Amino acid sequence: MSQTRHVPVMLQRCLDLLAPALQKPGSVVVDCTLGLGGHSEAMLKAFPEARLVALDRDKEALRLSGERLAPFGDRATLVHAVYDELPEVLERLSVPRVQGVLFDLGVSSMQLDERERGFAYAHDAPLDMRMDQTTGVSAAEVLNTYPPGELVRILRQYGEEKQAKRIVSAIVREREKEPFSNSARLVELIRDALPQAAKRTGGNPAKRTFQALRIEVNGELSVLERAIPAAVQSLAVDGRIAVLSYHSLEDRLVKQVFAAGAANTAPPGLPVVPEQYQPRLKLLTRGAELPTEDEIAENRRAAPARLRGAQRIREDVR
């Protein structure tokens, strides 16, 4: 089941970006967002000399992808961890440096497709949205307990929702009557709260609020802020990193880390740039690459994807 419904996004391009670093015997590639294992399986097939370390915070994803990757035996090591825990995971596995890192951010296909997880606004489900259901607060708890000002900030910052104040006023009014538990009531409330003009643009009017709640529940941006620099740090010289983002906040963060790594940080006017000021990274993509029209036609979930790649070109000099 998992194989048939899961189409990995921009798969061939990700493989092409990572390939030069993963052809050698003994190379290690990290899939920081294992999900259903589509990208991981393709990397194990494409790079027969490589070993895979794969992380996911979702135990159900680990179980399903574990079945999928079982034929590769001890070439695949699956770890229950959030991707900002990468340095600790590599230390536990006695892997000092890796040759490749892949991030496929956002919600996995499995999480969207399992109705009871509450990620999708298209059908009624409990408002959970936790990627790791063993820990943390649910989306319902956020809606029912956060102060109004905090909810407005989350919707504006993480959902880029212009109507945040209207929506939050309606949420606060309704939660006093009865706490929120299911998604359908929230979707209906958002529809009723928005002015007509706002409902005519950008797909389902609940989309931005659901995105904001999901990011808050899972701490996605704060985790990513730690994870991308840590992943760059874990790369050996000539190692490569590829990151698939699905909204502008993620992509901006990745862009900033890559741009900083690829910049010359020397004070202006030096005749020769000392090594500690020279770039650590070389950018492998011109801006963010987009999926092709054919791919979007085949897999609509690829539509918002943005892919960036970089190569480690030197060690840090202290």
**Beta-strand pair 306-312/235-245:** antiparallel
Kindly report, residue by residue over 7-19, the tens digit of the pLDDT.
899 999 999 999 9
Detail the residues annotated as belonging to a binding site for S-adenosyl-L-methionine.
37-39, 56, 83, 104, 111
Q: CATH 3.40.50.150 in the chain, residues? A: 2-110+220-312
Would you say residue 96 has pLDDT above 90? yes
Q: Tell me the three-class secondary structure of 140-168, residue by residue.
A: HHHHHHCCHHHHHHHHHHHHCCCCHHHHH
The structure tokens listed for 308 are 């960036």
d(CA 280, CA 261): 5
Select from 80, 24, 7 the least CA-distant residue to 236: 24
Select from 52, 102, 90, 56 the least CA-distant residue to 73: 52
- What are the counts of helices (DSSP H) followed by strands (DSSP E) for the chain? 15, 7
pLDDT at site 261: 95
Kindly report, residue by residue over 43-71, the tens digit of the pLDDT.
999 999 999 999 999 888 899 999 999 99
For residue 93, give the amino acid letter. Answer: L
Detail the residues annotated as belonging to a binding site.
37-39, 56, 83, 104, 111
CA contacts within 13 A on the Cβ side of 200: 3
Please give the full DSSP string across 94-132, using - where no structure is assigned: T---EEEEEEE-S--HHHHH-GGG---SSS--BS---SS
> What percent of the chain has a predicted confidence (pLDDT) above 70?
91
Q: CATH 1.10.150.170 in the chain, residues? A: 115-218
Return the CATH fold of 2-110+220-312: Rossmann fold (3.40.50)
pTM: 0.87
Q: State how far the alpha carbon of 93 is from the alpha carbons of 53, 211, 231, in Å.
A: 9, 34, 15
The structure tokens listed for 280 are 């650590």
| Per-residue pLDDT band at 27 (split at 50, 70, 90) | very high
Kindly report, residue by residue over 133-187, the tens digit of the pLDDT.
778 899 999 999 999 999 999 999 999 999 999 999 999 999 999 999 999 999 9
Kindly report, residue by residue over 276-314, the tens digit of the pLDDT.
889 999 999 999 999 999 999 998 888 999 999 999 999
Would you say residue 109 has pLDDT above 60? no
pLDDT at site 107: 66
d(CA 82, CA 231): 13
Q: State how far the alpha carbon of 269 is from the alpha carbons of 57, 65, 207, 260, in Å.
A: 47, 53, 49, 19
Kindly report, residue by residue over 232-287, the tens digit of the pLDDT.
999 999 999 999 999 899 999 999 999 999 998 888 888 888 888 899 999 999 99
For residue 189, give the amino acid letter. Answer: L
Return the CATH fold of 115-218: DNA polymerase; domain 1 (1.10.150)
Beta strands in the chain (DSSP E): 28-31, 51-56, 76-80, 98-104, 235-245, 281-283, 306-312
Classified as helix, coil or strand, 294 is: helix
pLDDT at site 1: 34
Would you say residue 4 has pLDDT above 50? no
Would you say residue 117 has pLDDT above 60? no
d(CA 148, CA 154): 10
